[in-house]
Structure formats: structure tokens, C-alpha cells
Amino acid sequence: MNSVQSSQTQKDDDAEVLDALIVGGGFNGVYQLHRLRQEGFKVRLFEAGADLGGVWYWNCYPGARVDSHVPIYEFSIEELWRDWNWTERFPAWDELCRYFHYVDKKLDLSRDIRFGTRVSAAEFDEARDQWVIRTTDGTVVRARYFILCTGFASKPYIPNYKGLESFAGESFHTGLWPQEGASFTGKRVGVVGTGASGVQVVQEASKDAAHLTVFQRTPILALPMQQRKLDYPEIFRIRRETFGGFDILRDERSALEVSPEERCALYEKLWQEGGFHYWIGGFADILTNEDANRTMYDFWRDKTRARIKDPALADKLAPMEPPHPFGVKRPSLEQWYYEVFNQDNVSLVDVREMPITEIVPEGVRTADGLVELDMLVLATGFDAATGGLTQIDIRGTGGVTLKEKWTEGARTYLGFATSGFPNMLFLYGPQSPAGFSNGPTSAELQGEWVVDCLKHMRENNKGRIEATAQAEEEWTQFLSAIADMTLFPRADSWYMGANIPGKPRQLLNFPGVPMYMDRCNTAAAKDYEGFVLD
Ligand SMILES: Cc1cc2nc3c(=O)[nH]c(=O)nc-3n(C[C@H](O)[C@H](O)[C@H](O)COP(=O)(O)OP(=O)(O)OC[C@H]3O[C@@H](n4cnc5c(N)ncnc54)[C@H](O)[C@@H]3O)c2cc1C
């Protein structure tokens, strides 16, 4: 061993030893810190950002707001909801950040959190059954359990446009928006992308921009928001029992077994309820039967086209034929998105017809010419589900990195663990409900499973838990079989990993919170079947 290595080892040996190191200060990390501390574990949380909130800290662009209504989108801990009142049913990022400050104060979290601390690497010390975890500022800690709550959206995706760095104006990705803010007023603004963030930023920019150009690849099948009164305990009870972890129950009939009048009546009711009701509260076969799905698309299309004055624009934004089945790509919520395109200061560029060829100092060049811009907004999404995990240099047994292991696609057992990486558990990760589930529901349900698992390990004097390769293979096959029974593979969405060039195509989220938790709880009840405990 040379002197550099030996001083490194010395430093690692001296590192603080924790029961668990949690990475990430969003809903999942916060829940883990609170509950593991309650159970007497020695825990710390490292957060790359300067504050709590996770995605709500980073995505502070104008118009950023949650698409899950409250109180569904908050912790169900009574001590917290009793004294907190939201101003809006779909709160914006700044109100969500205030909520996190409130949670921090109530639960006294910050004393065990290090902000501005990015975990860059971790390796498993097989001799001690501990993770040695390093941060970009040179800190090293040891922890028995490495709990990754890095979220599905902590690696923004920036397209590889030729000349992007040459752009002379301001340029921001929505997920890395400047904390001090940025104004659209009087500027020529370009927004690339019409996913959830694109819809939100377009609505705001349309108000103040001198001109707004929206670069659309695929039309978003966005749904209108509406308001409704709140009954907290009942809502929290229902959200544990529904498909997506919301308070919305679906109609268990087929869309094709009812009369057209009855079908339309349900669709109209869901439409008026607003939010995700139209997506989740429909008939049972919407996501599995193409004809059933088409009835839902057609209703959405007719409602939406009625709001767009120019028929040519209506064909782009709400085409007569569906770009993909309804709801297999996440439908964003909107308030005046479609009316934006009736304004004189707004234009739409269809990048399937007119691809972006390069970015130049003056703006964006397409096959049709130059669009001059002062500001370029990249609402281009994230390397979802896996990116936040694989961007950390994580080395398991035998020194294999997680990134290497998942080259052909993510492989997990129960969406919590992967073989070869003992004592490492991830929440809201690939092959768990994550993107198909309301965030806080998942944080609590998955969170309790992890807390119970660590308690089980402690009570049974076990120091090491690892998913078996066989259990992982079966889980991956199981999810793939589920995907084949649905229409999800029919859209190029981040649900399928298809928004990132070269990323393996697979269903990254598990559809159905109750079925998922049933599997997880059954495995736990059978002494953590599918895991090896030592
Ligand atoms: C714009 C946007 C809108 C959304 N809207 C909804 C919605 O309407 N409904 C819904 O249910 N979900 C929504 N989501 C999903 C959202 O991610 C979840 O609801 C929830 O916030 C997940 O919480 P989390 O704790 O898992 O992750 P996050 O909130 O993403 O937090 C992860 C944290 O980990 C930190 N981190 C990552 N890597 C490292 C590292 N290496 N070292 C240190 N820290 C690290 C990040 O800085 C981040 O703060 C939205 C996401 C985005 C981006």
C-alpha cells in the first residue's frame, strides 16, 4: 500500500460511524430521518441543496406547482397536518418550501442535517459490513445502512444541442432554476419541452414575455385544475388504499360496457372535479385496453380543441388522432395553457417537423430559420428514477459500480435494493411505485417498510441484508410482464426511460401502490424472503 492509500485508509477508519446515512432532503429523506431517529437509530442526512424540500427547492421556476392536490400531497402525521393550512389546493414551490420549514421546526430535523453536502461516492466495506461514504467537500462517514432518498428528478436532462453553450442570452433548466429568480418581462423567451414543467413555465412566461416561442415535440395531454373542500382524516385513510396513493377511486367497470351517455357523464364529472381525477378516476381498463383508452382521449381532445381558436394549432396541440394512448405519459395539470396559444405574443414550433439544428448566440436555429431569443428555458425533464442513483460512484461487493450493474437497465428487488449492494436501500427508486404514486404516500409506506426492516435487523442481531440475484430477477420479470399487459410501453415517456437517448427502455415504475405494498409486506412477514440476512 502506498502512502496516499494508507493515509486515506487511516482517514476512513477515523470517520464517524452512523447506523444510517440518509441522502436527500425531500419527502422521503425527511420521513426517514424523523422515523429512524424516533426508533433510536443514530442517523444523519446529507443534502446537496442549501435547504430542505427536495424537488421544491430546486424547481423554483415561475409557475412550479404540485399536480397532486393537498392534503394528499403532505405528510399524514397528525402533529403536522393539524396546525398547517395551505392557501391553495395545488400549492406552488414556495409554499411547499415553507411547509418543509414548518416540518423542520416541528420535528427538529436540521440538527441532524448537513446542507450543501453532495454525496459523490460510496463503497461497501465487507469486513465491517459498513458503507464508507464520501462527499464532494472531502467528508467521509461510515454507516451500517446507506439510505438513498435522491428522488427521481435529481439529475436534470440537458439535450446535447450543437452550440448550446454559445447562446448569448440567459439559459436555464427548470430543475436548476436560479434561487434568486429570473424575469421574463419584455424578453423574447423560448421554452423547449411541453411536459409538466414546460406547461407551467409557458403559462407564466406568456403573461410578461415580449414574445414566447414554445418548442413542442409531443403534445401534452394536459388536464384542468379545479378546487374542492378538504376532510383530512378521511382523505388520509383512503389514500393508503388506492391505485396511485391518492383519494380517487376508479370505476371498476370497463369503459366499453357502459352506454356512451353514461361514459360521457362520468368523464364530465371527473373533468369538473379537476386535477388527476380524469386520469385516475376513470374506468378500470383505461390503461390496458386501447379502445377503452380511445374514449377517454376523444373526450379530452374535444374539450381541449374547443379552447383553441386556430384549427391548425388545435391539430398540433390536441390532434384528432392520439399521439399515444391517454394517460400512459404523465398528464400535466394546467390552468390557461391552451388559451396561451390564442395570444398574439405566442408561437408554437413543432420540432418533429422543424427539428432544432443548433443553438447560436442569437437564439435557436431550426430547419425553418432562426428564432431570436433573450432567454432559453430547457423544460427538458430528468434522467428519471435511476439518474440520481447512478450519478453517485457507488461500489458494492467486488467493486462493481451501480452504474455498471444497471447498464442494461435497472434491476432491483421490490424497488428497494439490488444484489451485490448489501445494506443499501433506496426509496422512490426504480421498480417501485415512485412516478405512479403520490410522493408523500410513497414516502410513508415505503418509509415504514425500511424502518421496520432496520428494526428487524437490530432485534435479530443481524448486520447485513442483501437481495438475492434470483429475487431480483423475478421482480424484474414480474414488472416486465405487468408492463406488457398495459399500454405504458406505447409512449416514449420517462416512465419507460425513453426520454433519455440511449437509456434502456423498461417500465421504471410499479403500477399500483396496494399490490406493491402487499408484495413488500409479504416478503417482510416471511423473514425478508428474497433477502439474505447475516
Ligand atoms: C417539477 C416537479 C413536479 C412534481 N410534481 C409532483 C406531483 O404533483 N405529485 C407527486 O406525487 N410528485 C410530484 N413530483 C415528484 C416528486 O419528486 C415527489 O413528489 C417527491 O418530491 C419525491 O421526494 P423525494 O424525497 O424522493 O425526492 P426529491 O424531492 O427529489 O429530493 C431528493 C433530494 O436529494 C438530493 N440529492 C440527490 N442526490 C444527492 C447527492 N448525491 N448528495 C446529496 N443530496 C442529493 C437532492 O438535492 C434533492 O433535494 C414532482 C417532481 C418535479 C420535479
The confidence band for 236, taking pLDDT boundaries of 50, 70 and 90, is: confident
Identify the residue whose C-alpha is closest to ligand 1 atom 5. 66
Which residues lie closer than 8 Å to 129 by C-beta, 6 or more apart?
Answer: 144, 422, 423, 463, 464, 534
What is the CA(430)–ligand 1 centre distance, in A? Answer: 13
- pTM, 2 dp: 0.92
Q: Residue 434: CB within 6 Å of ligand 1?
A: no
Residue 66 alpha carbon, nearest atom of ligand 1: 8
The confidence band for 1, taking pLDDT boundaries of 50, 70 and 90, is: very low
What is the CA(421)–ligand 1 centre distance, in A? Answer: 23
What is the CA(142)–ligand 1 centre distance, in A? Answer: 25
All three cell numbers of 273: 372535479
pLDDT at 2: 35
What is the CA(147)–ligand 1 centre distance, in A? Answer: 15
What is the CA(152)–ligand 1 centre distance, in A? Answer: 6
Please state, for a pLDDT cut of 70, what percent of the chain lies above it. Answer: 96
Q: Residue 152: CB within 6 Å of ligand 1?
A: yes
pLDDT at 228: 52
pLDDT at 89: 86
Cα–Cα distance measured from residue 148 to residue 513, given in angstroms and rounded to the nearest whole number: 20
Please state, for a pLDDT cut of 90, what percent of the chain lies above it. Answer: 87
Residue 379 has pLDDT above 80, yes or no: yes
Mean pLDDT for the stretch of residues 263-271: 96
pLDDT at 249: 81
Q: Residue 48: CB within 6 Å of ligand 1?
A: yes
Q: Residue 314: CB within 6 Å of ligand 1?
A: no
The confidence band for 107, taking pLDDT boundaries of 50, 70 and 90, is: very high
Amino acid identity of residue 339, one-letter, is E
The confidence band for 7, taking pLDDT boundaries of 50, 70 and 90, is: very low
Residue 197 alpha carbon, nearest atom of ligand 1: 1
Residue 49 alpha carbon, nearest atom of ligand 1: 47
- Which of 528, 524, 458 lies closest to 39, judged by CA? 458
Residue 30 alpha carbon, nearest atom of ligand 1: 25
Which helix or strand (DSSP H or E) is residue 291 part of? helix 290-305
pLDDT at 88: 84
pLDDT at 130: 97
pLDDT at 248: 79
What's the mean per-residue pLDDT of the chain?
Answer: 93
pLDDT tens-place string over residues 425-480: 999 999 999 988 999 999 999 999 999 999 999 999 999 999 999 999 999 999 99
What is the CA(253)–ligand 1 centre distance, in A? Answer: 34
Which residues lie closer than 8 Å to 93 by C-beta, 6 or more apart?
Answer: 53, 56, 59, 60, 61, 64, 65
Q: Residue 388: CB within 6 Å of ligand 1?
A: yes
Residue 392 alpha carbon, nearest atom of ligand 1: 41
pLDDT tens-place string over residues 64-85: 999 998 988 999 999 999 999 8
Mean pLDDT for the stretch of residues 193-221: 97
The 3-class secondary structure across 234-250, one letter per residue, is: HHHHHHCCCCCCCCCCC
What is the CA(182)–ligand 1 centre distance, in A? Answer: 22
Give one word for 232, left, alpha or beta, with left for phi > 0 and alpha for psi -120 to 50.
alpha
Mean pLDDT for the stretch of residues 359-383: 97
Identify the residue whose C-alpha is closest to ligand 1 atom 49. 54
Cα–Cα distance measured from residue 276 to residue 69, given in angstroms and rounded to the nearest whole number: 8
Residue 135 alpha carbon, nearest atom of ligand 1: 42
- Which of 41, 102, 9, 22 lies closest to 456, judged by CA? 41
pLDDT at 518: 97
pLDDT tens-place string over residues 21-70: 999 999 999 999 999 999 999 999 999 999 999 999 999 999 999 999 89
Q: Residue 447: CB within 6 Å of ligand 1?
A: no
pLDDT tens-place string over residues 278-307: 998 999 999 999 999 999 999 999 999 999
Mean pLDDT for the stretch of residues 225-244: 68
Identify the residue whose C-alpha is closest to ligand 1 atom 26. 151
pLDDT at 8: 55
pLDDT tens-place string over residues 108-128: 999 999 999 999 999 999 999
Mean pLDDT for the stretch of residues 4-13: 53
Cα–Cα distance measured from residue 36 to residue 34, given in angstroms and rounded to the nearest whole number: 6
Cα–Cα distance measured from residue 300 to residue 50, given in angstroms and rounded to the nearest whole number: 41
Which of 150, 203, 389 has the most ligand 1 atoms within 8 A of CB, as the residue to mutate?
A: 150
Report, in angstroms and rounded to the nearest whole number, the Rg of the chain calculated over CA atoms: 24
Q: Check if the beta carbon of residue 329 is closer than 8 Å to that of residue 493.
A: yes
The confidence band for 5, taking pLDDT boundaries of 50, 70 and 90, is: very low
pLDDT tens-place string over residues 486-528: 999 998 999 899 999 999 999 999 988 999 999 999 999 999 9
pLDDT at 435: 87
Which of 52, 137, 154 has the most ligand 1 atoms within 8 A of CB, as the residue to mutate?
A: 154
What is the CA(151)–ligand 1 centre distance, in A? Answer: 4
What is the CA(125)–ligand 1 centre distance, in A? Answer: 29
What is the CA(166)–ligand 1 centre distance, in A? Answer: 30
Which of 55, 446, 450 has the most ligand 1 atoms within 8 A of CB, as the residue to mutate?
A: 55
Identify the residue whose C-alpha is closest to ligand 1 atom 9. 68
Residue 224 has pLDDT above 70, yes or no: yes
pLDDT at 230: 59
Residue 9 has pLDDT above 70, yes or no: no
pLDDT tens-place string over residues 140-190: 999 999 999 999 999 999 999 999 999 999 999 999 999 999 999 999 999
